[in-house]
A and B are shown apart, each in its own frame.
Chain A
Amino acid sequence: MIRNILFYIKEAFLSTKKNGIISLATIVCLTATLIIVGIFLIISLHINNFIANLESDLIAVAYLKDDLTQEEIGKLVQNTSSLEGVREVVYISKEEALQKLKEDLTEHEEILAGLPENPLPSSLEITVFEAGFLDEVSFQVNQFKGIEEVNYGGQLTKNLLIIFDFIRKTGLGIILILLFVSILIMFAVIKISVHSRQQEIEIMALVGATSWFIRWPFIIEGFLKGLLSSLISFFIIYKAYKFYLTQVKSLIPFISVNLEPDFILRIGITLLFLGVFIGIFGSMLSLRKISYEEL
């Protein structure tokens, strides 16, 4: 078994060396494809992250009229909570609102000091499950007695989500096309490799090598090319991403971008898997049938 594996690996290297320029071209093509895939993955993960943050801010604020009794407020909270799509309703009294404002404006307390009385209304903070519920919930709450006004950043949030969804879908489409193309490239290259070793394959088939024995060196050749391409592309993406991060961070210090080991590792594993898959699958396609006929 080990003897056979050594033979396969040796033959795979021999073949890669024999078709040097083509091998190099394949690795360059595959690496470029994987880099593009990697960039889209990074963008897509960032968008996901951003959307998750946006969605956690899916809040509408309903301002209450000043003259409501505790009972009426309780009823409003209850009615709002029972609407479809509402996750949570929090009542914020006039005092709490002022307290919050004071905390936000600690460095400019003089603005508040001049106020004769608390001008802030009490309010309900309504969190919905999805951006899609914002419109309807706001409309419904606005109908309730005792509500002064309902505010939410609805349209902007919704538009952003639509744009990001479009980018994600386009990215996925481009990735699928690129994967298809790279499998075709690998298919063609292994075909060339098989063709250039036709004599060897004929002799192997003639002296009684099994079809899998003939296939393995080519599959390993595809595997090695895929592996090498994914390692190179990951290295380039890693370096470029790190560079980009330091640049962005120095320009916009408060932006939330992350280079957690886990995140970049996930990209790495995905690229590795893709590279190896393309390599092996492309080779298998071009070796579907080893013919014992017409030798």
Chain B
Amino acid sequence: MFHVFKAFPNKINALWDVSIHIKKGEFVFLVGPTGAGKTTFLKLIYRGILPSKGQVIVDGVNLSRLKPSYVPFLRREIGVVFQDFKLLYNRSVFENVAFSLRVIGVKNAIIKKEVNEILNIIGLSHKKKTNPHLLSGGEQQKLCIARAVVSRPLILLTDEPTGNLDPETSWEIMKLLFKINIWGTTVIMASHDKLIVDKSQKRVIRLEQGKLVSDTMKGIYYKQ
């Protein structure tokens, strides 16, 4: 990101002159109080929104110049996990994960193999026929992660994935994210879970009122 500004009609400085470079394969925490611009930051990366000023470059592609018809192909390289899950409650666990492969035209045989593999990794293979609303919060979050990474994206964006979970389950989710990071996926995680950020010893980018206030390797939640 180079000198990125983002203004909304009801908020002038959602992001204010943010410049940052995240390398391939990194694990980055995005911290800051509510309204600091964390979600805006993530949306800019998957082109949910465009910057008001400045450039966002993902995998060598300048998103401001990306034609709308190419956006789907950018999205295939980026997995997104939301705090509110965004699961399809009229489909089974298996179908929820398979859905993200089906809509990009993957063959059935490959879908079956890939989905079973990822469900094994996250530990939900015994519940693949279950409806998501019968799962616990932690399991639903795992399912979201499975859906986001089943297509093996280059980047995984997670917005408060541990926001609604107890500490134990939260840490389980973190272990899963670390595992995904080790496979080579760049992980950017917005969080205000101080315990997890401090314990993880990863790069921490702190935003406050839309401005980048600190960027520390092996950082902790608060400014040092």
**Given A207-B100, A208-B73, A292-B71, residue A3 in contact with residue B107 (CB < 8 A):** yes
Pairwise interchain contact B105-A208, C-beta atoms closer than 8 A: no
Pairwise interchain contact B46-A3, C-beta atoms closer than 8 A: no
B206 close to chain A: CB less than 8 A: no
Pairwise interchain contact B100-A203, C-beta atoms closer than 8 A: yes
Contacting residues, chain A, for B48 (C-beta < 8 A):
292-295
Q: How far is the CA of A4 from the CA of B104 in the complex (A)?
A: 9
Q: Mark A1-18, 1 if CB is under 8 A from B, else 0.
A: 001100100000000001
Which residues from 39 to 86 on chain A have a C-beta closer than 8 Å to any C-beta of chain B? none
Contacting residues, chain B, for A24 (C-beta < 8 A):
none
**Given A293-B48, A295-B48, residue A208 in contact with residue B69 (CB < 8 A):** no
Stretch with Cβ within 8 A of B (4 or more), from A138-146, A209-217, A243-251: A209-217
Q: How far is the CA of A206 from the CA of B80 in the complex (A)?
A: 8
Among B46, B72, B88, B107, point to the contact of A209 (Cβ < 8 A): B72
Main secondary structure of the interface of A (DSSP, over half): helix
B61 close to chain A: CB less than 8 A: no
Pairwise interchain contact B76-A202, C-beta atoms closer than 8 A: no
**Chain B nearest CB, measured from A203 CB (Å):** 6
B52 close to chain A: CB less than 8 A: no
A200 close to chain B: CB less than 8 A: yes
Pairwise interchain contact A202-B103, C-beta atoms closer than 8 A: no
**Chain B nearest CB, measured from A11 CB (Å):** 10
Among A4, A200, A203, A208, point to the contact of B76 (Cβ < 8 A): A208
Pairwise interchain contact B99-A211, C-beta atoms closer than 8 A: no
Q: How far is the CA of A94 from the CA of B49 in the complex (A)?
A: 94
Contacting residues, chain A, for B75 (C-beta < 8 A):
205-208, 292
Nearest residue (CB) in B for A290 is B68
Which residues from 208 to 254 on chain A have a C-beta closer than 8 Å to any C-beta of chain B? 208-211, 213-214
Q: Mark A265-295, 1 if CB is under 8 A from B, else 0.
A: 0000000000000000000000000001111
Q: How far is the CA of A206 from the CA of B71 in the complex (A)?
A: 9
Q: Mark A175-206, 1 if CB is under 8 A from B, else 0.
A: 00000000000000000000000011011111
Q: How far is the CA of A211 from the CA of B69 in the complex (A)?
A: 8
Contacting residues, chain A, for B147 (C-beta < 8 A):
207
Nearest residue (CB) in B for A292 is B71
Contacting residues, chain A, for B194 (C-beta < 8 A):
none
Pairwise interchain contact B80-A4, C-beta atoms closer than 8 A: no
Contacting residues, chain A, for B71 (C-beta < 8 A):
292
Q: How far is the CA of A200 from the CA of B74 in the complex (A)?
A: 19
Contacting residues, chain B, for A208 (C-beta < 8 A):
72-76, 103-104, 151
**Chain B nearest CB, measured from A89 CB (Å):** 70
B108 close to chain A: CB less than 8 A: yes
Among B49, B68, B79, B102, point to the contact of A294 (Cβ < 8 A): B49
B126 close to chain A: CB less than 8 A: no
Nearest residue (CB) in A for B74 is A208
Pairwise interchain contact B86-A203, C-beta atoms closer than 8 A: yes
Which residues from 36 to 70 on chain B have a C-beta closer than 8 Å to any C-beta of chain A? 43, 46-50, 68-69
Among A3, A203, A205, point to the contact of B105 (Cβ < 8 A): A3
**Given A3-B105, A4-B105, residue A200 in contact with residue B73 (CB < 8 A):** no
Q: How far is the CA of A209 from the CA of B151 in the complex (A)?
A: 12
Contacting residues, chain B, for A18 (C-beta < 8 A):
90
Among B74, B86, B103, B104, point to the contact of A199 (Cβ < 8 A): B86
Which residues from 6 to 35 on chain A have a C-beta closer than 8 Å to any C-beta of chain B? 7, 18
Contacting residues, chain A, for B105 (C-beta < 8 A):
3-4, 213
Which residues from 136 to 181 on chain A have a C-beta closer than 8 Å to any C-beta of chain B? none
Pairwise interchain contact B151-A207, C-beta atoms closer than 8 A: yes
Pairwise interchain contact A209-B104, C-beta atoms closer than 8 A: yes
Pairwise interchain contact A206-B88, C-beta atoms closer than 8 A: no
Q: How far is the CA of A3 from the CA of B106 in the complex (A)?
A: 9
Chain B CB within 10 Å, residue with most, of A18, A209, A211, A213? A209
A-B contact pairs, 5 of them (CB 8 A): A18-B90, A199-B88, A207-B147, A209-B72, A213-B105
In the complex, given contacts A203-B86, A203-B99, what are 12 additional A-B residue pairs having Cβ atoms less than 8 angstroms apart?
A3-B107, A7-B103, A203-B100, A204-B99, A206-B75, A207-B99, A207-B147, A208-B73, A208-B75, A208-B76, A213-B105, A293-B48
